[in-house]
Protein backbone atom coordinates (compact mmCIF):
# COMPACT_ATOMS: atom_id res chain seq x y z
CA UNK A 1 0.00 0.00 0.00
CA UNK A 2 1.32 3.43 -0.93
CA UNK A 3 1.79 6.10 1.73
CA UNK A 4 -0.70 8.96 1.82
CA UNK A 5 0.30 12.07 -0.13
CA UNK A 6 1.89 15.09 1.52
CA UNK A 7 -1.12 17.27 0.60
CA UNK A 8 -3.49 14.84 2.30
CA UNK A 9 -1.29 14.74 5.39
CA UNK A 10 -1.15 18.54 5.43
CA UNK A 11 -4.98 18.74 5.39
CA UNK A 12 -5.17 16.38 8.35
CA UNK A 13 -2.64 18.49 10.28
CA UNK A 14 -4.51 21.74 9.56
CA UNK A 15 -7.94 20.56 10.74
CA UNK A 16 -7.16 20.26 14.48
CA UNK A 17 -5.66 23.77 14.38
CA UNK A 18 -8.95 25.23 13.00
CA UNK A 19 -11.50 22.94 14.64
CA UNK A 20 -11.40 21.06 17.90
CA UNK A 21 -12.08 17.52 16.74
CA UNK A 22 -11.13 14.32 18.47
CA UNK A 23 -8.73 11.92 16.81
CA UNK A 24 -11.56 9.47 16.30
CA UNK A 25 -13.68 12.11 14.50
CA UNK A 26 -10.69 13.11 12.36
CA UNK A 27 -10.20 9.49 11.36
CA UNK A 28 -13.87 9.15 10.41
CA UNK A 29 -13.82 12.43 8.50
CA UNK A 30 -10.80 11.47 6.38
CA UNK A 31 -11.62 7.73 6.19
CA UNK A 32 -8.33 6.61 7.69
CA UNK A 33 -7.34 4.59 10.73
CA UNK A 34 -7.22 6.28 14.11
CA UNK A 35 -3.66 5.00 14.56
CA UNK A 36 -2.60 6.82 11.36
CA UNK A 37 -3.89 10.12 12.76
CA UNK A 38 -2.17 9.50 16.09
CA UNK A 39 1.16 8.65 14.48
CA UNK A 40 0.97 11.59 12.08
CA UNK A 41 0.18 14.11 14.84
CA UNK A 42 2.92 12.68 17.06
CA UNK A 43 5.46 12.81 14.23
CA UNK A 44 4.46 16.41 13.44
CA UNK A 45 4.75 17.51 17.07
CA UNK A 46 8.14 15.83 17.58
CA UNK A 47 9.87 16.62 14.29
CA UNK A 48 7.73 19.20 12.49
CA UNK A 49 7.84 16.89 9.47
CA UNK A 50 4.96 15.01 7.84
CA UNK A 51 6.94 12.99 5.29
CA UNK A 52 6.05 9.28 5.23
CA UNK A 53 8.45 7.01 7.08
CA UNK A 54 10.37 4.34 5.14
CA UNK A 55 8.32 1.19 4.69
CA UNK A 56 9.24 -2.42 5.28
CA UNK A 57 12.22 -4.01 3.66
CA UNK A 58 13.93 -7.30 4.08
CA UNK A 59 16.56 -8.14 6.65
CA UNK A 60 20.24 -7.99 5.76
CA UNK A 61 21.52 -11.21 4.21
CA UNK A 62 23.61 -13.30 6.59
CA UNK A 63 26.29 -14.00 4.00
CA UNK A 64 28.10 -11.30 2.03
CA UNK A 65 30.06 -11.62 -1.23
CA UNK A 66 33.23 -13.45 -0.16
CA UNK A 67 31.28 -15.67 2.23
CA UNK A 68 29.01 -16.76 -0.66
CA UNK A 69 32.11 -17.63 -2.69
CA UNK A 70 33.35 -19.68 0.27
CA UNK A 71 29.98 -21.45 0.39
CA UNK A 72 30.21 -22.32 -3.32
CA UNK A 73 33.67 -23.78 -2.73
CA UNK A 74 32.38 -25.81 0.22
CA UNK A 75 29.46 -27.16 -1.82
CA UNK A 76 31.73 -28.09 -4.72
CA UNK A 77 34.28 -29.86 -2.54
CA UNK A 78 31.66 -31.60 -0.39
CA UNK A 79 29.01 -32.26 -3.04
CA UNK A 80 27.64 -35.22 -1.07
CA UNK A 81 27.07 -33.24 2.16
CA UNK A 82 23.69 -32.73 3.77
CA UNK A 83 22.39 -29.27 4.61
CA UNK A 84 23.36 -29.78 8.24
CA UNK A 85 26.90 -30.75 7.27
CA UNK A 86 27.11 -27.73 4.98
CA UNK A 87 25.99 -25.47 7.87
CA UNK A 88 28.75 -26.90 10.07
CA UNK A 89 31.41 -26.62 7.35
CA UNK A 90 30.40 -23.03 6.64
CA UNK A 91 30.55 -22.15 10.33
CA UNK A 92 34.05 -23.62 10.57
CA UNK A 93 35.27 -21.69 7.55
CA UNK A 94 33.65 -18.23 7.91
CA UNK A 95 32.45 -18.24 11.56
CA UNK A 96 28.84 -17.53 10.56
CA UNK A 97 26.10 -19.89 11.70
CA UNK A 98 23.09 -20.28 9.42
CA UNK A 99 20.01 -22.42 9.98
CA UNK A 100 19.02 -25.39 7.84
CA UNK A 101 16.23 -23.49 6.05
CA UNK A 102 18.62 -20.62 5.32
CA UNK A 103 21.16 -23.05 3.89
CA UNK A 104 18.41 -24.61 1.78
CA UNK A 105 17.42 -21.20 0.40
CA UNK A 106 21.06 -20.32 -0.28
CA UNK A 107 21.70 -23.54 -2.20
CA UNK A 108 18.53 -22.98 -4.24
CA UNK A 109 19.58 -19.40 -4.94
CA UNK A 110 22.97 -20.64 -6.11
CA UNK A 111 21.28 -23.39 -8.22
CA UNK A 112 22.98 -26.24 -6.38
CA UNK A 113 21.33 -29.53 -5.59
CA UNK A 114 22.39 -30.95 -2.24
CA UNK A 115 20.71 -34.33 -2.40
CA UNK A 116 22.81 -36.78 -0.47
CA UNK A 117 23.63 -39.98 -2.32
CA UNK A 118 22.38 -42.75 -0.11
CA UNK A 119 24.13 -46.09 0.27
CA UNK A 120 21.35 -47.79 -1.72
CA UNK A 121 21.86 -45.48 -4.70
CA UNK A 122 25.58 -46.13 -4.71
CA UNK A 123 25.03 -49.92 -4.63
CA UNK A 124 22.65 -49.74 -7.63
CA UNK A 125 25.29 -48.04 -9.76
Residue 106 has pLDDT above 70, yes or no: yes
User: Is residue 52 within 8 Å of 4, Cβ to Cβ?
Assistant: yes
CB under 8 Å to 114, separation ≥6 — which residues?
A: 75, 81, 82, 83, 86, 104, 107
Share of the chain above pLDDT 90, in %: 50
Predicted confidence (pLDDT) per residue in 32-78, tens digit = 999 999 999 999 999 999 999 888 888 888 888 889 899 999 988 98
* 120: confidence class by pLDDT, cuts 50, 70, 90: low
Amino acid sequence: MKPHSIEFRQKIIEVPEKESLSIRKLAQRFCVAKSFIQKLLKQYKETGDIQPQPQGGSPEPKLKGEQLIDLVEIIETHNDATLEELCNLLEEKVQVRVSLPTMGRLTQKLNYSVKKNSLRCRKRK
